[in-house]
Structure 1
Amino acid sequence: MTKQGTFTLKKSLIAMTFAAASSVANAGEVEVLHWWTSGGEAKSAAVLKQMLEQQGDSWKDFAVAGGGGESAMTVLKTRAVSGNPPSAAQIKGHDIQEWGDLGFLTSLDDVAEAGQWDKVLPAVVTKVMKYNGDYVAVPVNVHRVNWLWANPEVFKKAGATVPANMDEFFAAAEKIKAAGFVPLAHGGQPWQDATLFEAVALDILGSQDYNKAFVDLDMDVLSGPKMVETFATFQRMHDYIDENSPGRDWNIATSMVINGEAAMQIMGDWAKGEFAAAGKQPGKDYICAPAPGTANQFTFNIDSFAFFKLSNKDNEEAQKHLAKTILNKDFQEVFNLNKGSIPVRLDMNMDKFDKCALDSMATFKASAQTGDLVPSMAHGLATTSYVQGAVYDVVTNFFNDTSADPKQAAQQLARAVKAAM
């Protein structure tokens, strides 16, 4: 190599080193607390990390295993109280408001205004993401909870049709049971009992009274005749669940439908990931249909990140980059294709999504206009964790007591909710 060549190479190396040093000096770090530690969720978190790092920021993973996030919240409280919170944490529903009340969350209004979040997100979603009118959290996706997953082969063998309402559900369940299959795959855990219960409640109460019961906590609706009917219908469903249900995980119940052991399951769209992992195709190997009687209604569950106040300016800037990236259309597409949910943006191109997701998005948009887009009680979007826990107790105790009285259960529900308010 000539002296000139050596000199040029040295100059290039010095320039590159200087540029890298400048980049590091200006770059910020985001520490993100989440519990996306398996399967498609882990892939999605990796995509978010990659997209952020492409912007020059660094990602510090703060993953705490545990699907419900209980362990993560324990760690978060310790960190926040000691004055060392992460940049963002996976928090949803009313918990966002509780962290806002404690004064830990930062405003994202400048990012939201630049990204026109008020225009691209439904108002029912933005309401959950704001504290005192300011954006403090960013939604990642929307799950529809009121889905029914069905095995068409089992229905065919039983001479039954996929039910569109509760009368059809019981008629089909009788035929399926007589044919030797489990009509309804279910896991006997409190949150799963509540998921089934709220699907029945949405049908019988209707969207308006559902909101009165689980959002407004209206005592008259909670203890009223429609709630009594909800408990009575819910009780009848127990006859079509197998005796091995207690303690069963939701994905095991889903596999019963996949394997043709059971005919159907009422569960959120995260169940679709199990069908996909088994190589099953919607419309061919399985059917996704609204839970009986809820065709034009949409019970939503939203994954979201709340953003904490930081003292480092570079990290604050990186934090804003993260908020912007979460609602980036490319990330919204990749994440939701992996997770089985749908994008939270209303202006997405859905060409890569399957029929279940397309049906979900169509109902999501339509129900946002009609008032039939309602927050899930079972999954922490409708009310506080205290009220949710009280509902869980009443619903699960009732479901597991074959001699329980629906009228008494409705009265117990109202009393339990009132005590937890």
Structure 2
Amino acid sequence: MRSNRHSRAHARRLFATLTACAAAAATFATSQAQAASVEVLHYWTSGGEAKSAQLLKQMLEQKGDTWVDFAVAGGGGGNAMTALKTRVVAGNPPAAAQIKGPAIKEWADQDVLLSIDDVAKAGNWDRLLPPEIASVMKYKGQYVGAPVNVHRVNWLWINADALKKVGAQPPATWDDFFKVADALKKAGITPVAIGGQPWQEAETFETVALGVGGAGFYKKAFVDLDQATLKGPTMIKALETFKRLKAYTDEGQVGRDWNMATAMVINGRAGMQFMGDWAKGEFTVAGKVPGKDYLCVAAPGTQKDFTFNVDSFVFFKVKTPGVEKGQKDMAGLLMSPAFQEAFNLNKGSIPVRQDLSLAKFDDCAKKSSADFKSAGASGGLVPSWAHDMLVSPAVEGAFYDVIGNYWVNKDETAEQAAGKLAVAAKTN
């Protein structure tokens, strides 16, 4: 009997110990779920962008979530996309990733993205976003992407002192532009700063094409990929105008980063630069004031048009419990007034939300916002193919090659380049 009592007592002690362990394990599991990490793949690694990533991290952690940074620098996001593909193929995607344009639909087609439609409905995104941008963020009618900002690509940045030195006004037409460029060259100032990198050449050509042909031509060529338009007379004229710029650039452009080209305009070595509004951040860091030290004007012929580039995030389906809460918290934060204001003040872009006050923003941002709204109303709002917003990566890469080769090849004609663009549009 004694041994039975001893066995029963031992069993009770063992049961109590196991129960305590199970309770501790459950508590630990619950705390792990509540504090589940949100791994964020992004390429905001410099200046104001990095500052904004830190702000988003702080805001997310205030909601009880944990941010795990997965920053991949370089390549304008290309390196980040390579890292993302590797992780998804391995069955271990990050919780959130910075991607944009048609790539959103491509990932959604693979059934790997989390719907954030409930967050969008709660936040009235359909009312706050222009339809041209909302449609990019949706898949089969549901939001899977959260937009952060709107960049205007078709800007021309001008050193105000250089313009005064040659007694010129900001050019409104291409004829005006080349007259100003001639005057700057005569004064010993490089007229156009550019970096000899494929995306910079493509972006400049895109802006020239919009200025020469207008939004209707742009849509037919780059949205519809219409063969006759791609190799037609307006495209040939756009290519000829683009090639004319080469004589007004410097020899040191090969491999130059965009911000180094912007620095040439800031310090007066160059007079003008075609670049998206992320260039404004460089002027701001250098203590320059818009309207006084530099001018931001729409590129010649594009005053009523607006090529847009939108940063956004998607959220991948992950197996770890509790992560979905953090993902949806982050989606809501990206569209929150506080983040939209702080992020865009840092980055040089404008808020994608249409209901925010721009009281804290500078004149360039206010002009960008006004032009964005008027272009949306008039049909002049178009996505930037040079910045991943429109064509497939394969077609974009093929366009890059055609434009880059044409830029450096003295013997290639505009007619030949136009024919190659038409072929490139068929790339799978």
The reply to whether TM is greater than 0.5 is yes
Q: 1:208 is paired with a residue of what secondary structure?
A: helix
Contact 1:28 1:316 in 2 (8 A): no
Within the alignment, does 1:69 sit opposite 2:77 as a pair? yes
The match for 1:16 is none
By how many angstroms is 1:71 displaced? 2.1
Match of 2:157 in 1: 149
Unpaired segments of 5 or more residues in structure 2? 1-26
Q: Which amino acid aligns with 1:183?
A: P
The residue type equivalent to 2:107 in the other structure is W
Question: Using a 3 Å threshold, how does the CA distance of structure 1 residues 84 and 20 change in structure 2: closer, same or farther?
Answer: closer
Q: Tell me how far 1:100 sits from its aligned partner.
A: 1.1
Give the residue type in structure 2 aligned to 1:163.
Answer: P
Determine if the alignment matches structure 1 residue 123 to structure 2 residue 134: no
- The whole-number CA distance in structure 2 between the counterparts of 1:411 and 1:288 is 34
* Change beyond 3 A, Cα 1:401–1:22: closer
* TM-score, normalised by the number of residues in structure 1: 0.92
Corresponding residue for 1:320?
Answer: 328
Matched, 1:354 2:362: yes
Contact 2:156 2:273 in 1 (8 A): yes
Residue 299 (structure 2) aligns with: 291
Partner Cα distance (1:305, 1:378) in 2: 19
Q: Is the 8 A contact 1:160 1:176 kept in 2?
A: no
The offset of 1:27, in angstroms, is 4.1
Which of 202, 205, 213 is equivalent to 1:205? 213
**In structure 2, C-alpha distance between the alignment counterparts of 1:67 and 1:78, rounded to whole Å:** 16
Letter of the 1:178 counterpart: K
- Amino acid across the alignment from 1:382: L
Specify the alignment match of 2:102 in structure 1.
94
CA RMSD of aligned residues (A): 1.6
The separation in 1 between residues aligned to 2:101 and 2:29, in whole angstroms, is 41
Stretch deviating more after TM superposition (71-80 or 130-139): 71-80
* Aligned residue number for residue 380 of structure 1: 388
Picking from 174, 180, 195, the partner of 1:172 is 180
Q: CA deviation at 1:20?
A: 12
Give the secondary structure class of the aligned counterpart of 1:287.
strand
1:400 counterpart = 2:408: yes
Quote the Cα distance in structure 2 between the aligned partners of 1:39 and 1:67: 16
TM-fit CA distance, 1:280? 0.5
Q: CA deviation at 1:23?
A: 7.0
Counterpart check, 1:228 vs 2:230: no
> Secondary structure at 2:38's aligned position in 1?
strand
Identity, in percent, stands at 58
Aligned counterpart in structure 2 of residue 43 of structure 1, from 48, 51, 54? 51
Larger Rg: 2
CA-to-aligned-CA distance 1:184-207 (integer Å, 9 cap, x gap): 111111111111101111012211
Distance in 2, Cα, partners of 1:337 & 1:299: 20
Cα deviations across residues 253-282 of structure 1 (Å, max 9, x unaligned)? 111111111110010001011111111111
Structure 2: how far apart are the matches of 1:197 and 1:246? 17
Instruction: Tell me the alpha carbon deviations over residues 290-321 of structure 1, each in whole angstroms, 9 at most, x when there is no partner.
Output: 11110111101111111111234421111111
> Per the alignment, in what secondary structure is the counterpart of residue 378 of structure 1?
helix
TM-score, normalisation: structure 2: 0.91
Shift of 1:28: 3.7
* Counterpart selection for 2:314 from 306, 317, 328: 306
Instruction: Determine the structure 1 residue equivalent to 2:116.
Output: 108
For the 8 Å contact 1:32–1:88, the answer to whether it is kept is yes
- Aligned with 1:159: secondary structure? coil
Which residue is equivalent to 1:138? 146
Unpaired runs of at least 5, structure 1: 1-18
Distance in 2 (alpha carbons) for counterparts of 1:334 and 1:21:
36
Q: Deviations over 1:310-365 (max 9, x none)?
A: 23442111111110010000000000111111111111111000000000011111
Query: Structure 1 residues 257, 22: closer, same or farther in 2, change over 3 A?
Result: same
TM superposition shift of 1:80:
1.3
Q: Which amino acid aligns with 1:52?
A: L
Aligned AA (1:193): E
Q: Which portions of structure 1, spanning 4 or more consecutive aligned residues, are displaced by more than 2 angstroms?
A: 19-29, 310-313
**2:357 is aligned with what amino acid?**
N
Q: Distance in 2 between matches of 1:280 and 1:292?
A: 23
Kept in 2, the 8 Å contact 1:23–1:56? The answer is no
**More displaced stretch, 196-205 vs 350-359:** 196-205
Shift in CA distance, 94/21, structure 1 to aligned 2, threshold 3 Å = closer
Letter in 2 for 1:85: P
Contact 2:33 2:323 in 1 (8 A): no
Which of 245, 251, 261 is equivalent to 1:253? Answer: 261
The alignment partner of 2:184 has SS state of helix
Q: How many residues align?
A: 402
- Find the residue that maps to 1:352 and give its secondary structure: coil
AA of the residue aligned to 1:139: P
